[in-house]
């Protein structure tokens, strides 16, 4: 282990010294990213009980971790944007005045590493040296965080070498403290390039490169610098001719990004030669390229995916990604063969097992083995369909942007916006049922614009204005914008659309629309497919059912209009007039 600083960068050294003085660690370890160091940390994590080494024949280099039972998801009500003026955080963010926030956080952090090790972890979001890349340093007292960050980002010495003497990097302090919920705070200081997270050990709260940096801080930087940071997967669809077109899709947490990003085409498509390539499953950074098109890069290097529901049928690529070098969090532990299990993996829950809390578990009593927000942290390179462009410094060109949510009714399977501005409107009015990815009630419909409600680092109305502005700059090279909903149900709550691999049928229509190769039906909300233009070959859905989920129910949409007006009213004068105009237009079309 190395106690010696791995850089001479004065801004880095000064900040690390300041952190040392604050949290008072017993020792300091710089993470160089070497295999020896990772192995030693795994060893150490197993010794302290933070990690459990799994069956090394069945799951080589795989580990299990359990968080505290009060610390299993993102905490949106304890997540703050600490910009100088409250009005600039906007009505959808929690705000704290920066100097008050620093004081409160420093009081919590002070001395909290006593007797513990401080890990200093340099990491890059985006391939090191790429024009997209931005660097960060996370200081943490958790081996679990280090081992996750090493999978989720490009971490180690190469990052410091690329950073050189620059002061342009994101400062991140994480302190586990006592995992005390009442003192848990996830705070962002966009003006200071700083993130401070205390009293949590769960993924999205503590892997500071992910939601904190790559979305909240990066969305602020994107607004300032003219690019976009979005909660989007990126995938490429290869057609039988070998042409690949890329789409980016924003769905709220636990609404299907990882699954869509790695989908396996239905058999009829596979036979014809279709392939899907995964570029990213959660976050997209997008810039206008030299050719005037929108180019996207996945700043991450791994997948922090939802475990429950992942199986050989629903997502074999995700499952394959988790077979080596993976950290499982809050899943069930099969003691017979020292492997892992979660609901929806297969129909045979282990008999001799511990649940996600580490308690002896009997599946026949109806309790869950894995937490609904249990996760795997898997290296992207494990994924059988990882795109050859995964490390491409310039990213991939985007043909279509897709918004989507979890709506039992209202939203049809797919529709296309009329143009970019109308597409921004479609994104701004997104709504979805809440999931276990964040603490709080599950299954409640809420507005989640662009799937960014919990992740936008500044005023949401300014964010929408930024989207409109990007459209002006892109002009006729702008991607086409669509909306999908895989989650329509019947009266008994059964899904009407099979989803997963079959979602390629919808992607095919979307790409055909981008190229003007297929017609559509104009409705009050946008363009909906003619029923027979969605390929039903080999699909277990009747024409009537398909027609039903493509239907736009005017009554339900008029109720939506009321909800949207109330939502928009919260943004006052800052709401772009264009969005009100779009809403009035939809309202009038519904009433016509
Ligand atoms: P985050 O990592 O939280 O951002 O989630 P995500 O958007 O990547 O969601 P993910 O792909 O992990 O899916 C979450 C849940 O939705 C899982 O339980 C999936 O089984 C389920 N799911 C994903 N795609 C579909 C689909 O097409 N249809 C249905 N019915 N369920 C789906
Ligand atoms: C999400 O909640 O959208 C996630 C998981 O991708 S977390 O990293 O916890 O944010
Ligand atoms: Mn996510």
CATH number assigned to the domain comprising residue 336: 2.170.8.10
User: Are both 278 and 338 inside the same structural domain?
Assistant: no
Backbone torsions φ then ψ of 571, nearest 5 degrees:
-95, -5
- The phi-psi region of residue 109 (left if phi > 0; otherwise alpha if psi is between -120 and 50; otherwise beta) is alpha
Same domain, 506 and 525: yes
Instruction: Determine which residue's CA is closest to atom 10 belonging to ligand 1.
Output: 256
- 79/23 same-domain check: yes
399 and 484 inside one domain: yes
Identify which ligand lies nearest to the alpha carbon of 207.
2
Residue owning the nearest CA to atom 5 of ligand 2: 204
Position 40 in a domain: no
User: What is the radius of gyration, based on Cα positions, of the chain?
Assistant: 23
CA distances from 125 to 208, 228, 306, 325, 336 (A): 11, 14, 21, 20, 39
CATH number, domain of 136, equals 3.40.449.10
Ligand nearest to the CA of 439: 2
Can you name the residues that pair with 76 across neighbouring β-strands?
A: none
Does the predicted model carry a pTM greater than 0.85?
A: yes
Residue 56 falls inside a structural domain: no
Encoded tokens for 31:
């993470």
Do 195 and 208 meet the contact criterion of CB atoms below 8 Å apart?
Answer: yes
- Say if ligand 1 is within 6 A of residue 172 CB: no
- Residues 166, 137: contact at Cβ < 8 Å? no
Distance 437 CA to ligand 2 centre (A): 6
* Residue nearest atom 3 of ligand 2, based on CA coordinates: 253
Task: Check which CATH number belongs to the domain holding 559 and give it.
Answer: 3.90.228.20
Domain endpoint, select from 201, 225, 249: 225
The domain tally of the chain equals 3
Same domain for 255 and 191: no
Q: What is the pLDDT along the chain (592 residues), one digit of tens a residue?
A: 557 899 999 999 999 999 999 999 999 999 999 999 999 999 999 999 999 999 999 999 999 999 999 999 999 999 999 999 999 999 999 999 999 999 999 999 999 999 999 999 999 999 999 999 999 999 999 999 999 999 999 999 999 999 999 999 999 999 999 999 999 999 999 999 999 999 999 999 999 999 999 999 999 999 999 999 999 999 999 999 999 999 999 999 999 999 999 999 999 999 999 999 999 999 999 999 999 999 999 999 999 999 999 999 999 999 999 999 999 999 999 999 999 999 999 999 999 999 999 999 999 999 999 999 999 999 999 999 999 999 999 999 999 999 999 999 999 999 999 999 999 999 999 999 999 999 999 999 999 999 999 999 999 999 999 999 999 999 999 999 999 999 999 999 999 999 999 999 999 999 999 999 999 999 999 999 999 999 999 999 999 999 999 999 999 999 999 999 999 999 999 999 999 999 999 999 999 9
Q: Quick check: 354 and 360 in contact, CB under 8 A? A: yes
Name the residue range of residue 152's domain: 10-30+75-225
Question: CA 221, CA 223: separation in Å to the nearest integer?
Answer: 5
Residue identifier of the C-alpha nearest atom 1 of ligand 2: 253
Q: How far is the CA of 587 from the centre of ligand 1 (A)?
A: 31
Whether 479 lines ligand 1, by a CB cut-off of 6 Å, is no
Spatial distance between the Cα atoms of 410 and 430, rounded to a whole number of angstroms:
11
Q: Is residue 568 part of a domain?
A: yes
Residue pair 104/171 in contact (Cβ under 8 Å)? The answer is no
Task: Tell me the CB-side half-sphere exposure of residue 576, using CA atoms within 13 A.
Answer: 19
pLDDT of residue 533: 98
User: Minimal CA–CA distance to 217: which of 189, 185, 198, 197?
Assistant: 189
Q: Nearest CA to 231 among 202, 212, 252, 208? A: 252
Nearest partner of 62 among 380, 377, 386, judged by Cα: 377
Say yes or no: CB of residue 313 within 6 Å of ligand 1: no
The two three-digit tokens of residue 509, written as one number:
């229509």
Residues 97 and 148 in one domain: yes
Q: Judge if 344 and 449 occupy the same domain.
A: no
**What is the distance between the alpha carbons of residues 25 and 34, in angstroms, rounded to a whole number?**
23
- Contact 207 CB / ligand 1 (< 6 Å): no
- SS3 state of residue 53: strand
Run of H or E including 102: helix 98-109
Q: Is 255 a catalytic residue?
A: yes
| Both structure tokens of 63 | 């580990």
Query: Which residue lies with its CA nearest to atom 29 of ligand 1?
Result: 499
Q: Indicate which residue of 177, 255, 297, 383 is catalytic.
A: 255
Q: Which atom of ligand 2 is nearest to the CA of 74?
A: 9
- Ligand 1 centre to CA of 455 (Å) is 18
3-state DSSP helix/strand/coil percent for the chain, to nearest 5? 35, 25, 45
36 is a domain residue? no
Residue that finishes a domain, picked among 357, 382, 407: 382
Q: 């409640």: which residue's tokens? A: 444
Residue 2 is predicted with a pLDDT of: 55
Q: Which two tokens stand for residue 380?
A: 């992207």
251 lines ligand 1 (CB under 6 A): yes
First-last CA distance in the chain: 71
The single residue listed with the structure tokens 């779009």 is 582
Q: Is 315 in the pocket of ligand 1 (CB under 6 A)?
A: no
- Domain shared by 207 and 170, yes or no: yes
Residues 257, 349: one domain?
Answer: no
CA distance 38 to 332: 25
**Cβ contacts of residue 302 below 8 Å, gap of 6+?**
151, 152, 153, 377, 378, 379, 380
Cα 110 to its chain centre, rounded Å, is: 31
Buried b (16+ CB within 10 A) or exposed e, 356-385: beeeebebeeeebbbbbbbbbbbbbebbeb
Whether 269 maps to a domain, the answer reads: yes
Contacts of 241 (CB under 8 A, 6+ apart): none
Last residue of a domain, which of 206, 225, 244? 225
Which ligand has the nearest atom to the CA of 306?
A: 1
pLDDT given for residue 3 in this prediction: 77
Task: For residues 175 and 260, state if they share a domain.
Answer: no
Residue 1 included in any domain: no
Output the ligand 2 site: residues, CB below 6 A.
74, 203-204, 210-211, 253, 282, 304, 437
Minimum CA distance residue for ligand 2 atom 9: 204
Q: How many CB atoms lie within 10 A of CB 319?
A: 20
Q: Is residue 479 part of a domain?
A: yes
Residue ranges of alpha helices (H) inside 172-217 are: 203-206
The verdict on 319 and 428 lying in the same domain is no
CA of 248 to the centre of ligand 3 (A): 14
Question: Looking at ligand 1, which atom is closest to the CA of residue 308?
Answer: 18
Residues 86 and 165 in one domain: yes
Residue 110 near residue 138 (C-beta atoms within 8 A)? no
Atom of ligand 1 nearest to the CA of 251: 7
Q: Which residues contact 496 (CB under 8 A, 6 or more apart)?
A: 488, 489, 490, 541, 545, 548, 549
528: in domain: yes
φ and ψ at 538, to 5 degrees?
Answer: 75, 10
């Amino acid at each position: 282990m190395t106690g010696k600083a791995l850089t001479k960068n004065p801004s880095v050294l000064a900040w690390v010294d300041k952190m040392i003085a604050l949290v008072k660690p017993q020792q300091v370890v710089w993470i160089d990213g070497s295999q020896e160091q990772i192995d030693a940390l795994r060893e150490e994590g197993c010794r302290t009980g933070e990690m459990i080494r799994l069956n090394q024949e069945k799951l080589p280099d795989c580990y299990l971790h359990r968080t505290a039972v009060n610390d299993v998801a993102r905490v949106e009500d304890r997540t703050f944007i600490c910009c100088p003026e409250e009005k600039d955080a906007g009505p959808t963010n929690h705000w704290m005045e920066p100097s008050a926030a620093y004081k409160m956080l420093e009081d919590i952090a002070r001395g909290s590493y006593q007797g513990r090790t401080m890990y200093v972890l340099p990491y890059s979001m985006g391939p090191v040296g790429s024009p997209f890349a931005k660097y960060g340093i996370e200081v943490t007292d958790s081996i679990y965080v280090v081992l996750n960050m090493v999978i989720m980002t490009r971490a180690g010495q190469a990052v410091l070498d690329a950073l050189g003497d620059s002061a342009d990097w994101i400062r991140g302090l994480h302190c586990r403290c006592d995992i005390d919920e009442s003192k848990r705070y996830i705070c962002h200081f966009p003006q200071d390039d700083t993130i401070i997270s205390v009293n949590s050990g769960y993924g999205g709260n503590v892997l500071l490169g992910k939601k904190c940096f790559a979305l909240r801080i990066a969305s602020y930087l994107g607004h300032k610098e003219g690019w976009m940071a979005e909660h989007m997967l990126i995938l490429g669809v290869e057609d039988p001719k070998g042409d690949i077109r890329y789409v980016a899709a924003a769905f709220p947490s636990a609404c299907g990004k990882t699954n869509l990003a790695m989908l396996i085409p239905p058999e009829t498509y596979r036979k014809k030669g279709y392939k899907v390539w995964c570029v990213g499953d959660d976050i997209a950074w997008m810039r206008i390229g030299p050719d005037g098109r929108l180019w996207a890069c996945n700043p991450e290097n791994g997948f922090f995916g939802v475990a429950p529901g992942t199986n050989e049928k629903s997502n074999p690529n995700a499952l394959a990604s988790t077979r080596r070098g993976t950290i499982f969090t809050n899943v069930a532990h099969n003691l017979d063969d020292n492997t892992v299990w979660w609901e929806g993996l297969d129909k045979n829950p282990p008999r001799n097992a511990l649940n996600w809390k580490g308690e002896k578990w009997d599946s026949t009593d109806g309790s869950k083995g894995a937490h609904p927000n249990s996760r795997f942290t898997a290296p992207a390179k494990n994924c059988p369909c990882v795109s050859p462009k995964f490390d491409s410094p310039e990213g991939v060109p985007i043909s279509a942007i897709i918004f989507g949510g979890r709506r039992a009714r209202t939203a049809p399977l797919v529709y296309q916006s009329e143009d970019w501005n109308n597409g921004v409107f479609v994104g701004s009015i997104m709504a979805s049922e809440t999931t276990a990815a964040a603490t709080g009630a599950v299954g409640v419909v809420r507005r989640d614009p662009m799937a960014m409600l919990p992740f936008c680092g500044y005023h949401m109305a300014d964010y929408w204005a930024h989207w409109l502005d990007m459209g002006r700059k892109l002009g006729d090279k702008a991607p086409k914008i669509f909306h999908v909903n895989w989650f329509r149900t019947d009266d008994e709550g059964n899904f009407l659309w099979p989803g997963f691999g079959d979602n390629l049928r919808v992607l095919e229509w979307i790409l055909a629309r981008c190229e003007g190769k297929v017609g559509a039906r104009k409705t009050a909300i946008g363009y909906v497919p003619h029923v027979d233009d969605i390929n039903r070959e080999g699909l277990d859905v009747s024409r009537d059912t398909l027609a039903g989920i493509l239907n736009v129910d005017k009554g339900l949409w008029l109720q939506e209009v009321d909800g949207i007006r109330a939502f928009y009213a919260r943004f006052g004068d800052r709401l772009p007039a264009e969005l009100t105009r779009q809403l009035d237009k939809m309202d009038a079309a519904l009433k016509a």
